[in-house]
C-alpha cells in the first residue's frame, strides 16, 4: 500500500488496514513490543506496505538499538578511576 504525505491510503485497501496516522500513533508501542497481537500485526502489515511510514519505523528501530547499546556499555572500572586520581595527585592536585 502506498500512502501519500497526508497519511491517506492511495489504494482502496482492506478496511482493517491502519491509516498512516493511526500507525504512527502506535509506532513506539509497536517497537517496544507493547501491543496486543492483533494491533502488532496491523502495524507490521502497514509498515510492510507503506513507503511513507516505513522509514519512520526504521529510524525508531535505530534509535532503540542505539539506546540499548549505550545501556549495555560497560561502566568504567574503579581501578581506572583510581589510576587517574593517583596520577593527578602525583602532578600536584591534592584536592581530589
The rounded distance, in Å, linking the Cα atoms of 71 and 61 is 15
- 34 belongs to a structural domain: yes
- 9 belongs to a structural domain: no
- 44 belongs to a structural domain: yes
pLDDT at 1 over 60: no
- pLDDT (tens digit per residue) in 64-96: 999 888 776 666 667 888 888 888 888 888 765
The rounded distance, in Å, linking the Cα atoms of 72 and 68 is 6
Which residues are CB-contacts of 45 (< 8 A; sequence separation ≥ 6)? 17, 18
- pLDDT (tens digit per residue) in 39-66: 999 999 999 999 999 999 999 999 999 9
Residue 18 DSSP code: P
Print the domain residue range for 70: 20-90
Tell me, what's the pLDDT at 60? Answer: 95
- 8 belongs to a structural domain: no
C-alpha cell of residue 23: 500507525
Specify the number of domains making up the chain: 1
- 14 belongs to a structural domain: no
Tell me, what's the pLDDT at 8? Answer: 44
- 72 belongs to a structural domain: yes
- 38 belongs to a structural domain: yes
Greater confidence, 67 or 29?
29
- 37 belongs to a structural domain: yes
pLDDT grade for 21, boundaries at 50, 70 and 90: very high
Amino acid at each position: 500500500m502506498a500512502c501519500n504525505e497526508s497519511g491517506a491510503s492511495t489504494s482502496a485497501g482492506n478496511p482493517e488496514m491502519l491509516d498512516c496516522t493511526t500507525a504512527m500513533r502506535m509506532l513506539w508501542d509497536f517497537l517496544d513490543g507493547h501491543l496486543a497481537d492483533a494491533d502488532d500485526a496491523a502495524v507490521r502489515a502497514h509498515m510492510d506496505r507503506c513507503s511513507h511510514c516505513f522509514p519512520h519505523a526504521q529510524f525508531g528501530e535505530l534509535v532503540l538499538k542505539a539506546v540499548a547499546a549505550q545501556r549495555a556499555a560497560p561502566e568504567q572500572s574503579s581501578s581506572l578511576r583510581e589510576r587517574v586520581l593517583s596520577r593527578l595527585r602525583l602532578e600536584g592536585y591534592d584536592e581530589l
